[in-house]
Amino acid sequence: MSATPWALEVEDLSITFRTDRGTLRAVEGVSFRVAPGRTLAIVGESGCGKSVTSLAVMGLLAPNARVGGTVRLAGQPLDDAGRRAARGRDMAMIFQEPMTSLNPAFTAGDQVAEAIRAHEGVSLRAATERAIALFERVRIPEAARRARQYPHQLSGGMRQRVMIAMALACRPKLLIADEPTTALDVTVQAQILALLDELKRETGTAVVLITHDLGVVRDHAEEVLVMYAGRMAEQAPAARLFDRPEHPYTIGLLGAAPRLDEKRGRLASIPGTVPDLYRPPPGCRFAPRCPFSIAACDAGQPEFRPLEEAHRAACIRAPLEAALAA
């Protein structure tokens, strides 16, 4: 693969689905890059396109999907065949519900060993030994005994650690984690996220973290991409985004997040609903819900443009502080 500072590059990604209702425009014009050893968080409401984007990168979309744009892994463009070859070896994915991702008919150790054998052609004994070593690495206690157990015999946290071990089995360049802690209790969530951070530092694997939890983003991501209704709303280094959001949708998300230092009361919310992606509005898709919208917002799609310090936003009024003061 060619030399590049980026583990993953996505350029102008578009995803449509042909359905009985017509063509669903799930994702339009999404571009981002992730460096080795760094985490990019993709956030947004349910249905914004974040999980579909990750599935497109992995080549796991349904047959009725049509994908446009370019995906590069360590500088190498990936077509459908390239995605199949890289999947599990050079790029891996952790799903939010490990019970539905693990085969109930095989032991946890056999499933990780099979992933190793499929991509590296080693013997069953060598693959099993490596699987147990991986279980130890992801801090599964009594790794050899746990490797002989079936998924239903493991707790939710253990199953998620098995999924992480499987994802890391072939030392991938890219790891996509789609809501990896949603079904876990708070203590186990913290352990899993800390484990991902540690493994990222040790291996140099790039991580794309799909989440709706802004607290997780603040603590575990270096870069954030905010998506709304299939399009990019804002992208910035995490610290800057939390300190100075420039898109009204991002401001709404941050305002709706509960805070421990605030008095208990009614949580803030973003009024209205997401647009119908079968018939998206011609202007800014957030304009009908935006407290700062003006007539020009309905005229056309806003350009996703640079502001400063690697900060970009798709809002004609950004930077908002200057616009509102005018």
Encode pLDDT of 162-208 as tens digits.
999 998 888 899 999 998 887 778 888 888 899 889 989 988 999 99
Q: How confident is the model at residue 326 (pLDDT cuts 50, 70, 90)?
A: low
Domain ranges of the chain: 8-90+172-325, 100-171
- C-alpha 190: how far from chain center: 17
pLDDT, tens digit (0-9, with 9 covering 90-100), for 35-61 = 999 999 999 988 899 999 999 999 999
Residue 221 reports pLDDT greater than 60: yes
CB 59 within 8 A of CB 87: yes
Please say if the pLDDT value at position 1 is more than 50: no
User: What integer pLDDT is reported at residue 208 of this predicted model?
Assistant: 97
- Percentage of the chain modeled with pLDDT above 90: 67
Check: CATH 3.40.50.300 for 8-90+172-325? yes
Question: DSSP assignment of 222-253, as one string?
Answer: SEEEEEETTEEEEEEEHHHHHHS--SHHHHHH
Torsion of CA 288, 289, 291, 292, to 10 degrees: -50
